A and B are shown apart, each in its own frame.
Chain A
Amino acid sequence: MVKNDVKVLGAWPSPYVMRPRIALNIKSVNYEFLEETFGSKSELLLQSNPVHKKIPVLIHGDKPICESMIIVEYIDEVWTSGPSILPSDPYDRAIQRFWAAYVDEKWFAAMKGLRSAQGEERKAFLDQVTEGLALLEEAFGKCSKGKAFFGGDRIGLLDIAFGSFLGWLKVTEKLNGVKLLDEAKTPGLVKWAERFCADAAVKSVMPETEKLLEFSKVLAAKMKGAPPPKN
């Protein structure tokens, strides 16, 4: 595969951008990483994702593929010689897709709420986040069936979906002075997180927590200074 036949448009802090990069690493596919400048959108991004104007975008040949988990499934379907990212059994596939959607639509939504909330609202989001982690701990037990990852022996769809948020999870723990992944309450996930972050497909794209912490401050400052959002 020619290196510049596969491009990923993205940015290093984004958990969504991590997902296709991990998937491509699993498949040993070389790709060019085109980093967007924070605060602006390149012509290429606007052309290849005109609907959302968001990263990540995978450009394969001349075809843009958008939406991180849709990109991951695309990568799994195209590069069939590498290890599979989705399980072969349709029910197991449905379970992985269900939990991946849960992580994005419910759990991370609560994590984002936690970032800017105060007082009672903050406690409510924190409760939602910890309840979600309890559910994911249980899901881990069922999906992994005693093995290292949600996907079994190797990283799979749900590992990628949830694991990509671990950097921001650690930042949230530091900023809020809480332990979200806890040896007492979520022992399975604690060990899973260590294995995930240490995996060869993940290591090179998982940002260091200190760098993310610094970036979160830049992001917070920008959001405070930004004009009020249009509805």
Chain B
Amino acid sequence: MASSAMVTANQLIIMAELKLFRTWSSCFCLRVVWALDLKGIQYDTIFEDLSNKSSLLLQYNPIYKKVPVLVHNGKPLLESLVILEYIDEIWKQTPLLPEDPSERATARFWAKFGDDKVLPSIWNAFIKQGKDQEEAIVTAQENLGCVERQLTGKKFFNGETIGLVDLAFGWLANLLSVFEEVCGVTLIDHEKFPLLLEWIQNFADAPIIKESWPPRDKLITRYQAFHEVHTSKEAPK
């Protein structure tokens, strides 16, 4: 049972205007951090330990029990891409989506493609071994090829400035070199993916974005652990 002191703290949390439940490394959470920071919006952060989720998190997100959760005036918002669209609609400065409906549809299409196809295929290439890994790499590179072409003539997916698709692909900028180092394969090389590599550098160097970059050494440790767990499961008998 909550003590009266805890109830007061919870009430304070609920009353405060904008709260983000996140972890230090999750790229889905980083999307929201970057969006809020790019728009210069003030918010409070609650770091969650996913092995010991807070009762508030479970109350706000009972279906998925995941981060990020953005709570605005006591009302929870779930799913990072849904949250980004909400943020863009409430705070109009530094727009994340273009005005033109067909360009908006294109942006939404590539953000979805990133989450539905690119991310799982890169993850597969990361956790598999041997022939399975070779095949996974082929699929990942096919997907990345589609993405590479979207950068033709552009600094960012959104043009001259960072937008929704850039934030959606932030995980690639953040984790690609980590994955490559941990599993010892090159997924993106200069010959086949010059634009993507340039985008990764531009994104990582961008002001605001780089201020919330998770420490690389911590990411290496984290993904080394994942890699060990998965490759020991997958090891041929």
Contacts and interface: CB of A to CB of B under 8 A. Distances in A.
A33 to B, nearest CB: 20
A71 B77 contact: no
B79 A101 contact: yes
Q: Which of A60, A98, A101 has the most CB of B within 10 A?
A: A98
A77 B112 contact: no
Interface of B: 63, 72, 75, 77-79, 82-83, 85-86, 89-90, 101-102, 104-105, 108-109, 112-113, 135, 146
Given A65-B102, A73-B105, A135 B63 contact: yes
A94 B86 contact: yes
Interface residues of A, number: 22
Contacts of A90: 86, 89-90
B109 A97 contact: no
A36 interface: no
Nearest to A80: B101
B63 A102 contact: yes
Contacts of B90: 90
11 contacts: A51-B146, A70-B108, A70-B109, A73-B105, A73-B108, A74-B101, A74-B102, A78-B101, A90-B90, A91-B72, A98-B77
Contacts of A77: 101, 104
Contacts of B75: 91
A108 to B, nearest CB: 14
Nearest to A139: B63
A3 interface: no
Interface of A: 51, 60, 63, 65-67, 70-71, 73-74, 77-78, 90-91, 93-94, 97-98, 101-102, 135, 231
Given A71-B105, A74-B104, A77-B101, A98 B79 contact: yes
A176 B119 CA distance: 35
Contact of A65 (B77, B89, B105): B105
Nearest to A49: B109
Given A51-B113, A77-B101, A78-B101, 18 more contacts: A51-B146, A67-B109, A67-B112, A70-B108, A70-B112, A71-B105, A74-B101, A74-B102, A90-B89, A90-B90, A91-B75, A94-B83, A98-B77, A98-B79, A98-B82, A101-B79, A102-B63, A231-B135
